[in-house]
Amino acid sequence: MLTGFGFSKFIGAARELVFAQVLLPFSRATVWIIVFVIHQPLRTVVFAFLWCGLIAEVSAQKKFAYDPLALLQIRDDPARHLTLRWQGTIRAEAGRPGSWIERFIENRFNLTLEPRFIVFFSYPRVLPLRMLGGDIADVTWIMARDVAPFSRHGFALELPWEVIRRHAPNYVRLLNANAPEMWLLTHNEGRNYGVPLSTIESRFPRPGIWRMDWLRNVGIDRVPATLVEMEEALRRFRYRDPDRNGKIDTYGMSTWRSPMAPDTMDRSFEEIFGAHGVLTTGWMERNGKIVWGGVLPEAKETLGVLQRWYAEGLIYPDYAVAPAGSIDLIKKLTSGMVGYLSGLAEYFSFDLSNNQSMAAVVASVQSGGEIVPALFPRGPEGKRGGRGVSFGESLGVLMFGRHLEHEPEKVVRVLRMLDEFAADAELFLTVRLGKQGHHWQWDEAKGLHPLPPFDLSNNAARELIHRTLEPWRTWGFYSLFGGTQAIADLFRTAPHRAFDDAYRNSADAIYDALGQAEAVPADLILGDLIQFQVTTYSEIIGGRLPLSHFDHFVREWHHRGGAQLTGEANDLFARRRWILDRAGVPPPVTP
């Protein structure tokens, strides 16, 4: 019986417990204030604690003047054995210590490597907390946006440009020739922190993907090339039953959200904005001034188009809700919810010989299912394009922990590694792909291909072996950067090259004028402005706000710090030459 004596006593005790549980955490500050005001002995305890902390901290701060330029004088002594705690790139969480590549590098550079792995999606949450806890590796791969906070809090070692040029000249030459603007990313308040890492893949834009069978089913026999044609195709997808199941239950398109920055939606509808010549989350140059793309009139024009499309049901209504990541999005396409997806096409998506490729999955889910790469649609003024991530954005920054100011020889050793990787193609391929003939093979017909058992992605991931040179798929854990275009070209088969020339041409890329939005260190403002923009955009697209609200948004955007940020962006743009000079980038030759 519930009312029985024993049970009610139990409930009473439980109630006490609940009260304690609710009361206890109600407020740290509350208790503090009460303690402070009324409870003399406890106040003494708190003060004693504070003072102990102070004394401990002061005694821990041994005065040590770090002269970063002293690194210039340090010579790497190959005979000296070093141990490196190595927090490599994300997307290597399946890796295991003791891999073949690890041992190879250890032998070659006289090192002991202690690799640490971080789960791809938890990077933005876990890494700052680890750093706060004082758990900083010798070498850490970080995203460019973290350079400013990590250097401000003293997690990152200052690394003057001269030092990198001295100890990694080959790498600097490579970077300066291909993506000099990347130096803006590691710059913070007149100093340089870390080495920008370059990639070869992300500078090419990625178009969307069409369901070709759907296009045929609704009476369209070629891939839409203009915005007008695209709109018509999406409309037919919505209302003409492209999957022939007798129901009007399909949508036109959904769009891509970057899993690394799900809140920014920086690549959502990129080709539609691109058709109007605008990059919505990035800095653009207009008449010699730097302006934010998201507040330009072209963005308003595009939003008008998207609002109309959304109202007609051409856009998948929950496009922003789905957990960020390509797998979920791809399911929308493969399961027949939508007939067009933005920003995901690459050569391997269409490789029918790989039964995990998107094309193979679509074909297996629906007989006759076929996908084709999209063309960037031409807008009303003939513009077209998608976000071309400038050389290196997605590969981030190599950061050295500040404690290395006491162990400069480690810095120099890593810079030498980087330099040798840049200079020696064979070495680079080995640290990235493993041993030729054992892990991988190359021939003209099949291109670069992994050998069994490393053809299974799990086996390769465990060994930290990258199965392709495309950094987006697996960023180099030990190889640091993405390689050179020459190496990449060597390994692309003829059809792959043809695909890239046709669909992923850098002529269609729209670049950020400062390399990346986060090049302007704007800790608080930028993230909030982007969020404000995303919310406003989705309200306008969803029809909950009229298009005319955009003008109000622009005023408010400037008022909320956008004006200040734009000023800082222009300052950085003006300072660009100063930074590039330090990094040894030759000035452009004026005829």
Partner 1 sequence: MNTLRSLQTHRGLAFMAIPGLIVFFLFYYVPMAGIVVAFKDFTVREGIFGSQWAGLDNFRRLFEHEGFRSALGNTFIISLLRLSFGFFAPIVLALLLNELRSAALRRTLQTVTYLPFLFSWIILSGIFLLVFSIEGPINSLLLHSRHAPISFLSDDAWFLTLVIATGIWQSAGYGAVIYLAALAGISPELYEAARVDGANRWHQMRHISLPGLSPTIVVLLILNLGHVLNAGFDQIYNLYNPHVYDVADIIDTYVLRRVFNLQLGLSTAADLLKSVVGLIFLLCANRLARAATKGEHGVF
* Window 565-584: residues binding partner 1 (CB under 8 A): none
Closer CB to partner 1, 328 or 581, in the complex: 328
Q: In the window 386-425, what residues touch partner 1 (CB under 8 A)?
A: 402
Least Å from the CB of residue 151 to partner 1 = 9
Least Å from the CB of residue 144 to partner 1 = 14
The stretch among 270-278, 289-297, 536-544, 570-578 that binds partner 1 (CB under 8 A) is 536-544
- List 235, 560, 570, 584, residue binding partner 1 (CB under 8 A): 560
Q: Which residues pair with 509 in a beta bridge?
A: 386
327 touches partner 1 by CB under 8 A: no
- 254 contacts 319 by C-beta, under 8 angstroms: yes
- List 531, 551, 577, 578, residue binding partner 1 (CB under 8 A): 531
Least Å from the CB of residue 59 to partner 1 = 12
Q: Tell me the site size for partner 1, rule CB under 8 A.
A: 71
The stretch among 43-51, 214-222, 292-300, 501-509 that binds partner 1 (CB under 8 A) is 43-51
Least Å from the CB of residue 255 to partner 1 = 12
- List 38, 65, 321, 445, residue binding partner 1 (CB under 8 A): 321
Least Å from the CB of residue 3 to partner 1 = 5
Residue of 383, 317, 342 whose CA lies nearest to 210: 342
The stretch among 196-204, 358-366, 473-481, 530-538 that binds partner 1 (CB under 8 A) is 530-538
Measured CA to CA, the distance from residue 254 to residue 6 in angstroms comes to 59
Measured CA to CA, the distance from residue 281 to residue 295 in angstroms comes to 9
Fill in the DSSP letter of residue 297: H
- List 155, 309, 421, 478, residue binding partner 1 (CB under 8 A): 155
Rounded to 10°, the helix 326-334/358-365 angle is 40
Pattern of binders to partner 1 over 335-374, x per CB under 8 A? --x-------------------------------------
Closer CB to partner 1, 354 or 531, in the complex: 531
Q: Which two tokens stand for residue 137?
A: 């590796």
Least Å from the CB of residue 28 to partner 1 = 6
Fill in the DSSP letter of residue 436: B
Q: Spell out the residues 6+ positions from residue 397 whose beta carbon is closer than 8 angstroms to its own.
A: 141, 142, 143, 144, 146, 147, 185, 186, 193, 194, 195, 196, 197
263 touches partner 1 by CB under 8 A: yes
50 touches partner 1 by CB under 8 A: yes
Closer CB to partner 1, 150 or 503, in the complex: 150
Strands 139-142 and 111-116: unpaired
- 307 contacts 540 by C-beta, under 8 angstroms: yes
Q: In the window 7-36, what residues touch partner 1 (CB under 8 A)?
A: 7-8, 11-12, 14-15, 18-19, 22-33, 35
- List 81, 244, 544, 575, residue binding partner 1 (CB under 8 A): 544
Closer CB to partner 1, 53 or 78, in the complex: 53
H or E stretch including 101?
helix 100-109
333 touches partner 1 by CB under 8 A: no
Closer CB to partner 1, 524 or 589, in the complex: 524
494 touches partner 1 by CB under 8 A: no
- List 532, 568, 570, 584, residue binding partner 1 (CB under 8 A): 532
49 touches partner 1 by CB under 8 A: yes
Measured CA to CA, the distance from residue 251 to residue 336 in angstroms comes to 9
Least Å from the CB of residue 573 to partner 1 = 24
Least Å from the CB of residue 399 to partner 1 = 14
Least Å from the CB of residue 145 to partner 1 = 9
Omega of the bond prior to 453 within 30 degrees of 0, cis? yes
Q: Spell out the residues 6+ positions from residue 227 whose beta carbon is closer than 8 angstroms to its own.
A: 272, 275, 305, 377, 378, 379, 380
Closer CB to partner 1, 350 or 557, in the complex: 557
Coil, strand or helix at 158: strand
- What DSSP assignment string belongs to 196-246? E---SSTTS----EEEHHHHHHTT--S---BHHHHHHHHHHHHHS-TT-SS
- What DSSP assignment string belongs to 358-378? HHHHHHHHSTT--EEEPPPPB
Give the chain's end-to-end CA distance (angstroms, integer): 96
CA 579 to chain centre: 24
- What DSSP assignment string belongs to 527-556? HHHHHHHHHHHHHHHTTSS-TTHHHHHHHH
- List 40, 59, 61, 287, residue binding partner 1 (CB under 8 A): 61
Pattern of binders to partner 1 over 436-475, x per CB under 8 A? ----------------------------------------
Closer CB to partner 1, 32 or 578, in the complex: 32
- List 160, 259, 542, 584, residue binding partner 1 (CB under 8 A): 542
Measured CA to CA, the distance from residue 35 to residue 41 in angstroms comes to 9
- List 77, 424, 455, 528, residue binding partner 1 (CB under 8 A): 528
- 412 contacts 75 by C-beta, under 8 angstroms: yes
Report the greatest alpha carbon distance in the chain. 97
Q: How many CB atoms are closer than 10 A to CB 494?
A: 10
Least Å from the CB of residue 15 to partner 1 = 5
Q: Spell out the residues 6+ positions from residue 83 whose beta carbon is closer than 8 angstroms to its own.
A: 111, 112, 113, 114
Closer CB to partner 1, 134 or 587, in the complex: 134
- List 535, 547, 558, 570, residue binding partner 1 (CB under 8 A): 535
316 touches partner 1 by CB under 8 A: yes
The stretch among 42-50, 285-293, 408-416, 469-477 that binds partner 1 (CB under 8 A) is 42-50
Closer CB to partner 1, 249 or 424, in the complex: 249
Q: In the window 113-152, what residues touch partner 1 (CB under 8 A)?
A: 124-125, 128-129, 131-132, 149-150, 152
Closer CB to partner 1, 200 or 397, in the complex: 397
Cα–Cα distances in Å, from 343 out to 274, 328, 538? 12, 14, 18
